[in-house]
């Protein structure tokens, strides 16, 4: 792994900010790196405000969408909310369904079957809407490329409003309204919203026409925060504000379904990391292993008892998912070793029997061992479907765009995508994808990089320092928890291996007249280095609670 320390910002700017805010130069350095150079910028960063949200009517077609929604309410029409089966889609469905049902509307929530229908808007869903006399259908976290299917819905007399955040194709669907900040003709000030956040902007716009302040919609923001964390969107600009207020909901009164997934986790300590690693995999497991409707039902649970029972069901799905994920990853690793891909710039593997619901996770696992843009295929009826994942900095979506003549369809983001091909296209796709990746990938994208914010003496790690840094949350892409570097630190002699498989490292470093504990998950192989000499350590600062006492703890990222 390559350690890359960010360039030092302008010293005058750092010293001026430190003086203006009465903070240490270390903290001022971290802020200036994030573009915060004066009191007003710091106030907006540390104290997000409802006024920081953009006017939802700046989004193209928002006025049309709100007018059509109000028409449906006035006429008491039956509405279908159709969403993708992942966290973003199911959260968006739960949000809009709850909002509309409070308007006393009949709402049908619909999640496509991952295996029978595939990703996005489906003919089965439209036919279901028609049979249920639906007049207005919302596509949530999908629909932006469903040109033919939306034309089919129009023929059935169903108006469609698209709420999506994916990149549009060459042609926009002929929907009644298309809400997508990534539309080329949309001048909305921020285009990095997740799908659930686009839905929130819709209800914010509609509520405003009824004289309802956005603050009254805060209870929905636990869903938006969950979807933003799971979709790994940048936690900057409007996303930071939405997530900030969403985490307040988590800490005060999250909906029963989310509480049930968190189990005994203390609400006051919940972070976006918990949402990424505890909540999101379980919600996703429903769509991967059974059906996304289980996740929507959980998120719409009205009591903790009801939610707990549904969460237990979903926990079972998640355990099955983990077992399959381990098994298929091992098979894929064997396939890579037995193939001629070892020296390739990309990884592509295929087995007709691999479970379609976990191939995206397997792609991420393969990147952990073979750090390359990766595509994992499985069979799905008469076609092959794949999930693709990328490495830091490499635009996977752009690479796949150059392989379109080998695909039936594809969609996604810079770092994650899905695609479908005919079996006879597989060999040609592999060759083209490898050629494109070889051409586009840069040398620095071929090795893991640990991005370090700054080097500081370990003596700077104090409770006051931690309190200030912790106020920089919520952390996520665009505002990651600071990774720090301290050189020539020495273990106090207590270093040992911990964990059931003894792969984790626990140690304690001398910090002036005090000591500070550290844990390195998966860093057990560094035990001898720590014991035998001084080391350079890269880490983030956190807290550890043990026997009712809370103390600072370093979470080690790497050791030299």
What's the CA angle centered on 157, arms 154 and 159, to 5 degrees? 65
Would you call 441 helix, strand, or coil by DSSP? Answer: coil
Pair (167, 210) in one structural domain:
yes
Pair (530, 383) in one structural domain:
no
Q: Which domain holds residue 415?
A: 328-446
Pair (97, 237) in one structural domain:
yes
Query: Is residue 41 included in any domain, yes or no?
Result: no
Pair (90, 191) in one structural domain:
yes
Q: If you average pLDDT over residues 246-255, what whole number do you get?
A: 94
Cα end-to-end distance, the chain, whole Å: 10
Pair (260, 343) in one structural domain:
no
| Domain of residue 364, CATH code | 3.10.310.30
- Which of 263, 286, 312 is the endpoint of a domain? 312
Pair (430, 468) in one structural domain:
no
- What rounded mean pLDDT belongs to the chain? 94
Chain segment 170-220, per-residue pLDDT in tens? 899 999 999 999 999 999 999 999 999 999 999 999 999 999 999 999 999
Count of other CB atoms within 10 angstroms of residue 503:
14
| Domain of residue 88, CATH code | 3.90.1640.30
Question: Which 8-state DSSP code applies to residue 166?
Answer: S
Query: Is residue 302 included in any domain, yes or no?
Result: yes
Pair (85, 217) in one structural domain:
yes
Pair (437, 456) in one structural domain:
no
- What is the reported pLDDT for 429? 97
Count of other CB atoms within 10 angstroms of residue 444:
11
For residues 535 and 412, the model is more confident at 535
- R_g over Cα of the chain: 25
Is residue 513 pLDDT above 80, yes or no?
Answer: no
Would you call 319 helix, strand, or coil by DSSP? Answer: helix
Q: How many domains does the chain have?
A: 3
Pair (439, 460) in one structural domain:
no
Chain segment 452-498, per-residue pLDDT in tens? 999 999 999 999 999 999 999 999 989 999 999 999 999 988 899 99
- Which of 430, 446, 462 is the endpoint of a domain? 446
Query: Is residue 31 included in any domain, yes or no?
Result: no
Pair (240, 97) in one structural domain:
yes
Pair (337, 435) in one structural domain:
yes
- Report the predicted TM-score, pTM, of the whole model to 2 decimal places: 0.91
Pair (437, 484) in one structural domain:
no
Report d(CA 265, CA 269) in Å as an integer. Answer: 8
Strand pairing category for 159-163 and 177-179: parallel
Q: If you average pLDDT over residues 538-548, what whole number do you get?
A: 88
What stretches of 269-419 show up as alpha helix (H) in DSSP?
272-274, 280-285, 293-299, 304-338, 359-369, 396-401
Is residue 268 pLDDT above 80, yes or no?
Answer: no
- Which of 261, 287, 312 is the endpoint of a domain? 312
3-state helix, strand, coil in the chain (%, to 5): 45, 20, 35
Query: Is residue 23 included in any domain, yes or no?
Result: no
Report d(CA 547, CA 550) in Å as an integer. Answer: 8
| Domain of residue 516, CATH code | 2.40.50.460
Query: Is residue 38 included in any domain, yes or no?
Result: no
Report d(CA 477, CA 273) in Å as an integer. Answer: 12
Report d(CA 173, CA 164) in Å as an integer. Answer: 12
364 close to 281: Cβ distance less than 8 angstroms: no
Query: Is residue 37 included in any domain, yes or no?
Result: no
């Amino acid at each position: 792994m390559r350690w890359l320390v960010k360039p030092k910002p302008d010293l005058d700017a750092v010293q001026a900010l430190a003086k203006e805010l009465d903070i240490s130069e270390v903290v001022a350095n971290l802020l200036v790196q994030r573009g915060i150079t004066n009191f007003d910028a710091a106030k907006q960063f540390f104290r997000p405000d409802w006024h920081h949200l953009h006017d939802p009517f700046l989004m193209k077609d928002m006025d049309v969408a709100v007018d059509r929604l109000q028409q449906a309410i006035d006429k008491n029409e039956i509405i279908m909310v159709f969403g993708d089966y992942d966290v973003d889609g199911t959260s968006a469905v739960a949000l809009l369904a709850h909002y509309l049902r409070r308007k006393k509307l009949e709402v049908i929530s619909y999640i496509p079957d991952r295996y029978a229908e595939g990703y996005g808007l489906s003919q089965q869903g439209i036919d279901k809407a028609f049979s249920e006399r639906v007049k207005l259908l919302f596509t949530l976290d999908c629909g932006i490329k469903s040109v033919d299917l939306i034309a089919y819905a129009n023929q059935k007399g169903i108006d469609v409003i698209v709420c999506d955040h994916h990149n549009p194709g060459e042609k926009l669907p002929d929907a009644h309204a298309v809400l997508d900040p990534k539309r080329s003709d949309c001048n909305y000030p921020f285009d990095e919203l997740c799908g659930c956040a686009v839905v929130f902007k819709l209800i914010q716009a509609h509520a405003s026409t009824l004289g309802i302040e956005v603050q009254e919609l805060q209870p929905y923001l636990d869903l938006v925060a969950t979807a933003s964390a799971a979709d790994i969107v940048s936690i900057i600009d409007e996303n930071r504000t939405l997530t900030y207020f969403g985490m307040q909901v988590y800490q005060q009164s999250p909906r029963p379904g989310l509480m049930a997934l968190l189990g005994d986790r203390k609400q006051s300590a919940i972070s976006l990391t918990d949402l990424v690693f505890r909540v999101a995999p379980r919600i996703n497991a429903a769509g991967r292993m059974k059906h996304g409707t289980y996740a929507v039902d959980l998120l719409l649970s009205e009591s903790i008892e009801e939610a707990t029972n549904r969460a237990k069901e979903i926990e079972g799905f998640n355990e099955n998912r983990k077992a399959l994920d381990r098994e298929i990853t091992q098979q894929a690793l064997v396939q890579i070793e037995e193939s001629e891909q070892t020296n390739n710039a990309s990884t592509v593997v295929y087995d007709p029997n691999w479970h379609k619901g976990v191939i995206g996770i397997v792609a991420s696992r393969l990147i952990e061992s073979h750090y390359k843009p990766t595509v994992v295929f499985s069979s799905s009826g008469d076609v092959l479907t794949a999930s693709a994942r990328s490495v830091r900095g490499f635009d996977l979506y752009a690479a796949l765009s150059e392989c379109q003549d080998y695909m039936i369809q594809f969609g996604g983001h810079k770092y994650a995508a899905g695609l479908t091909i005919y079996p006879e296209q597989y060999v040609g796709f592999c060759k083209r994808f490898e050629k494109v990746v070889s051409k586009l990938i840069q040398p620095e994208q071929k090795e893991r990089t640990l991005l370090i914010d700054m080097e500081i003496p370990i003596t700077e790690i104090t409770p006051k320092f931690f309190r200030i840094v912790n106020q920089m949350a919520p952390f996520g892409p665009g505002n990651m928890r600071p990774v720090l570097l301290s050189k020539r630190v020495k273990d106090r002699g207590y270093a040992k291996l911990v964990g059931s498989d003894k792969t984790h490292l626990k140690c304690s470093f001398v910090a002036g007249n005090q000591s500070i504990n550290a844990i390195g998950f998966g860093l057990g192989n560094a035990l001898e280095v720590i014991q035998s000499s001084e080391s350079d350590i890269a880490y983030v600062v956190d807290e550890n609670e043990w026997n009712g006492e809370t103390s600072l703890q370093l979470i080690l990222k790497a050791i030299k």
